[in-house]
Structure 1
């Protein structure tokens, strides 16, 4: 199994967002297809500002199922693994754009006019919502604010 840690953590201990090269993309596809084991997901929990209830919503599972994954060290299904990778990459991108983790997390938790007065973190339960947040971060990064 491809190691989530190997894919997410660079040699210097920093988090890697870049996955545009073909080799890395193939590794991520393999990881998603095999599923992310809960112990690897637990490392992401330390990085992300979300509660277990929020993660359960994002992964479209109950809080109890998420708890069972933890207790039994289960592997997430493909769809859930893909969502974990997408959110992880989004969080890293946002931290890069804001150049400050705390400011980014405050933005994620704030009502946003661009999203119809919805908090960005409330959009992470769908791939469309993740794409919307990523697009908005791109606009912020390039100074295109509406």
Structure 2
């Protein structure tokens, strides 16, 4: 349980990374509490509607989590962490949130002409974006 508290602090300080996989697994299993989700969401460019699409939950359901002080199920907690880790990685590769946000919104030839943000609703899409960020980092474009 103490480890999950550490992750709460780590996430809210935007220093989470995927080096401590067991901590991430433990946190996913325990579920992300709504207040932590709010902190994470506030540090991203995504609004509630976009998070709703990424998590495959209605906005109303997410709002109910707030009202009922619920914890996200493991499947949703995992997606929250995946998006958070990808966003952190994107900022590292692009050098600033503004540059990465612009990339997320722009149609991408290497991705078949779709916007990278449109892939954040699936684990496969997130994996594809991680691979694309690695290619960009190493100067291998398309």
TM-score strictly above 0.5: yes
Give the aligned partner of residue 143 of structure 1. 139
Give the aligned partner of residue 18 of structure 2. 19
Query: Helix, strand or coil: the match of 1:75?
Result: coil
Kindly provide the CA deviation profile for residues 92-134 of structure 1, in whole angstroms up to 9, marking residues without a partner as x: 0000000011010011011111111111111011000000111
Would you say 1:125 and 2:121 are equivalent positions? yes
- Offset at 1:17? 4.1
Contact 1:19 1:25 in 2 (8 A): yes
Q: Distance in 1 between matches of 2:66 and 2:43?
A: 17
With structure 2 as the length reference, what TM-score do the two structures score?
0.92
Give the aligned partner of residue 36 of structure 1. 32
Higher share in helix:
2
Gap regions ≥5 residues in structure 2: none
Q: Distance in 1 between matches of 2:16 and 2:39?
A: 15
1:57 to 43, 53, 56: 53
Gap regions ≥5 residues in structure 1: none
Q: Distance in 2 between matches of 1:5 and 1:99?
A: 25
Give the aligned partner of residue 43 of structure 2. 47
Q: Distance in 2 between matches of 1:105 and 1:130?
A: 15
Give the aligned partner of residue 8 of structure 1. 11
What is the correspondence of 1:64-103 to structure 2 with a 5 Å cutoff?
Answer: 64-103=60-99
How many pairs does the alignment contain? 139
Contact 2:18 2:85 in 1 (8 A): no
With structure 1 as the length reference, what TM-score do the two structures score?
0.89
